[in-house]
Amino acid sequence: MTYTRMGNSGLIVSRMCFGTMTFNAGSEWIPGVAKVDQNDATEMVHHALGSGVNFFDTADGYSSGESEVILGKALGKRRNEAVICTKLGFRQSDQIGDAGLSRAHVLKQIDGSLDRMGIDHIDLLVLHKTDFTTPVEETLAALQTAVEHGKVRYLGVSNWPAWQVARAVQYQRDHRLAPFVAGQYLYNLVSRDIEQDVLPMMADMGGGLMAWSPLAGGLLSGKYDPEKLEDGEGRLSEGGDFLGIDTGTARKMIETLTDIAKAHGAHPATVALAWILAQDRSHSVIFGASKMSHMDAALAAPGLTLTPDEQKALSDIAPPNKRYPHWFDTMMTDELNTQILS
């Protein structure tokens, strides 16, 4: 296992983060995803700990909080070996105020997460989504209260646009508030939009990436035919394709992953995860599992070193399209200064 600091902080985490969205105690939530019961979850959590993983991700919205309950029970007396990240922000009920990032909802959900997991503090609290109905200053003040009361140690965001994160971080700096040190974003070989704005912003402002859906919902594991997703086994076969990847691109990526995997005696999923880890030393990857074999393929990623040619072969298949002003910046880069300073 390899480790990194989470952004510009002293929090040291394994670069492989075990995501627990699959944990479920019986609720009907996202068929094909949430299907791991307490016994299997406990076995998986202990396997992760034994493999050097100290980083675990959950959320109050995963199976209506059941994921948090199961994770807390699975860790049990080994809680102090784990860095627990949980998230809040999504609607919890039909009550008007039971959603978002208002002071009332943030503080309520923090207490709820602590209670469900049976712990006295959250190591990393991530805001799961944006809330444009609540002033960001109110949200940041509520987070500061939770930090000062010892209920939360570190803060992060997920799915926020770069401009909103930058504005919030500057406000935190100006008012000496606890800063955002983590960003949880969709990132994989065929979904690389964040390379345009989010990743440069995070590098400049001291945030570490937690890549979610690193296998594009299982597509990059090689178990699906891109043109016949319904014939596979898992979330994509049950209508869980929310990325809409072009089938030609998906097929070429899977073929390349398979070829590189064969050369290393590895699984295609291992190669896809290793590519993310190779992009930046600060990146961490959230991997999920419904079977122990899924875990083993993921946990092999830190030990797989891709050659520069292999990285390029993968990177060239689905680069993000540069939008204005990104293409203008690239076109107008001063060649002399770039040359002498590189």
Global pTM value = 0.92
What pLDDT score was predicted for residue 26? 87
Q: What is the pLDDT of residues 258-272, one digit of tens each?
A: 999 999 999 999 999
Q: What is the pLDDT of residues 131-162, one digit of tens each?
A: 999 999 999 999 999 999 999 999 999 999 99
Tokens encoding 288: 């999920």
Structural domain boundaries, residue 23: 3-341
Q: What is the pLDDT of residues 210-236, one digit of tens each?
A: 999 999 988 898 776 666 666 556 555
Spatial contact of 71 and 279, defined as CB atoms under 8 Å apart: no
| Residue found under tokens 């480790």 | 3
Among the listed residues 300, 242, 230, 291, the one whose alpha carbon sits nearest the alpha carbon of residue 268 = 300
What pLDDT score was predicted for residue 245? 78
| Residue found under tokens 């805001």 | 127
What pLDDT score was predicted for residue 167? 97
User: Measured between alpha carbons, how far is 137 from 18 in angstroms, rounded to an integer?
Assistant: 31
CATH number of domain containing 51: 3.20.20.100
Q: What is the pLDDT of residues 29-40, one digit of tens each?
A: 887 788 899 999
Q: What is the pLDDT of residues 164-174, one digit of tens each?
A: 999 999 999 99
How many percent of the chain have pLDDT more than 90?
80
Phi, psi for residue 208 in degrees, rounded to 5: -105, 140
How many percent of the chain have pLDDT more than 70?
94
Beta bridge partner(s), residue 13: 4
What pLDDT score was predicted for residue 240? 53
C-alpha distances in angstroms, 63 versus 129, 223, 337? Answer: 17, 25, 53
What pLDDT score was predicted for residue 52? 97
Among the listed residues 21, 171, 116, the one whose alpha carbon sits nearest the alpha carbon of residue 155 = 171
For residue 132, give every residue at least 6 positions away whose Cβ sits within 8 Å of its Cβ, in sequence order, or none: none
C-alpha distances in angstroms, 149 versus 146, 152, 153? Answer: 5, 8, 10
Q: Evaluate if residue 187 carries a pLDDT over 70.
A: yes
Tokens encoding 193: 């939009």
Catalytic residue, candidates 62, 154, 187, 224: 62
Is the pLDDT higher at 263 or at 237?
263
What pLDDT score was predicted for residue 29? 81
What pLDDT score was predicted for residue 238? 56
Task: Please give the full DSSP string across 220-254, using - where no structure is assigned.
Answer: GGT-S-TT-GGGSSSGGGGT---S---HHHHHHHH
Give, rounded to a whole angstrom, the gap between the first and last alpha carbons of the chain: 32
User: Measured between alpha carbons, how far is 273 from 286 in angstroms, rounded to an integer?
Assistant: 9
Spatial contact of 169 and 201, defined as CB atoms under 8 Å apart: no
Task: Say whether 224 is catalytic.
Answer: no
The number of domains in the chain is: 1
